[in-house]
Amino acid sequence: MTSRLSQIASHLVPESLNHHHHHPAGAKTGIKSDDDVVICCAVRTAITRGFKGGFKDTVPEDLLAEVLIAVRERTKIDPSLVEDICVGNVLQPSGGATTSRMAALYAGYPVETSCYTVNRQCASGLQAVVNIANAIEAGLIEIGIGAGVESMTMGYGPSAMAAKSSEKIPRGSQDAADCQLSMGVTSENVARDFGIDRKAQDEFAALSFQRAALAQKEGRFKDEIVPVRTFIKTTKNSKDSNSSKEDDEGQMKPVTISQDDGIRDGVTFESLSKIRPAFANDGSTTAGNASQISDGAAAVLLMRRRTAKRLGMPIIGKYITSVVRGVSPRVMGIGPAVAIPAVCKKAAIEIKDVDLFELNEAFASQTVYTIKTCGLDTNKVNVNGGALAIGHPLGCTGARQIATLMNELKRRKERIGVVTMCMATGMGAAAIFENEQV
């Protein structure tokens, strides 16, 4: 009876005094509940260079199938328990809906396991994971996989616009017109508007390359990467005029790809400062301080904590919360600077409480801007390098960042991590995860 009275009394307290006002609903950091949405597995392929790297001849659904198989094999989960799979993808025809379903069926998930794709530009892989987490939180499903895949080699066209598009919309709205700007131009806008000079961009890019090279040398990515057996077309030998037709077109050679091949050792501020600007003669964005065009896939298995306990699944961490915020399309790169404070507020934590940030390095300009604006400690941001060195396969990146984040939080025995990125057309996304492998 007393508890019933205190319950009624708490409803009479003005909203401003009610503690729920300060602690938003949903998962809390530092408190375990059977209702938490937990991560049982987070894996990725290597990230390889578009048009040149190890996956240049591998179609995206083959990459996706590999990470879906790895989730099953690493956790020993009965695939028939996985109710839904959401796949982030940006460039595939029709969003890769058909090929992603085919990949799931090939990977051993039954016809009853549903599958769909989502395109939130560069946040697609993160959005896929958040969509599954939301479905679990809402009680729609118990178990699901959020994944991401992109072959920029296969899907990289000159424009994200259809052959025929509206004339009145861009005429009627400058912001709408700015959605069609090339990403490089938006990077130049950020650099110019907010005074991020070439030196700051190249210094940060050099740091990203150096951190990634060290991490790779020390084998820090090994646990999160699923080795992929595939084929690579060797370049044709034009000298030998007697070569058969097949030789002439290059041979398909079997390879196993298990390392990010965009990472280069020995990149320095000096070597980067020699590269010419790519988008404006007097610009500061170059091929060295912009993210690489890449291919890769990643997948994250999620379920309620009580379900994971019942099934004896490994629990590597939990999903806390996420936000997406819009910004002006002409400076789309500033998105994370708006999303990071918003997501921390939603989780009732301070920015300084975050142990590690996986901040997608679309461009050094916007990464440096975000670090400055949010007052981030550089020693907590992309400690193993980021997209400048590793690459940015659009639809895969958000899920890839989760695999890298959970792996590194475990290695450092740290707790709170944020995955964040900007996206084309002007948005920022951020999500908070808590490591439980301490």
pLDDT tens for residues 118-144?
999 999 999 999 999 999 999 999 999
pLDDT tens, residue by residue, 372-409: 999 999 999 999 999 999 999 999 999 999 999 999 99
- CB atoms closer than 10 angstroms to residue 400: 37
- In which band, very low, low, confident or very high, does the pLDDT at 19 lie, cut at 50, 70 and 90? very low
- Is the model's pLDDT at 10 over the cut of 70? no
**Exposed, middle or buried: residue 193 (CB in 10 Å: 0-12, 13-18, 19+)?**
middle
21 is catalytic: no
This prediction has a pTM of 0.92
Please report how many Cα atoms fall inside a 13 Å half-sphere around the Cα of residue 115, on the Cβ side: 28
Token look-up 């400058």 returns: 174
> What are the distances in angstroms from CA 404 to CA 33, 160, 182, 190, 299?
25, 28, 28, 27, 12
392 is catalytic: yes
Catalytic pick among 115, 122, 179, 344: 122
pLDDT tens, residue by residue, 227-271: 999 999 987 654 544 544 445 578 999 999 999 999 999 999 999
Q: 350, 380 in Cβ contact below 8 A?
A: no
Catalytic pick among 41, 86, 115, 392: 392
Q: 108, 79 in Cβ contact below 8 A?
A: yes
Catalytic pick among 40, 41, 344, 422: 422
- Is the model's pLDDT at 91 over the cut of 80? yes
pLDDT tens, residue by residue, 185-240: 999 999 999 999 999 999 999 999 999 999 999 999 999 999 999 999 987 654 54
122 is catalytic: yes
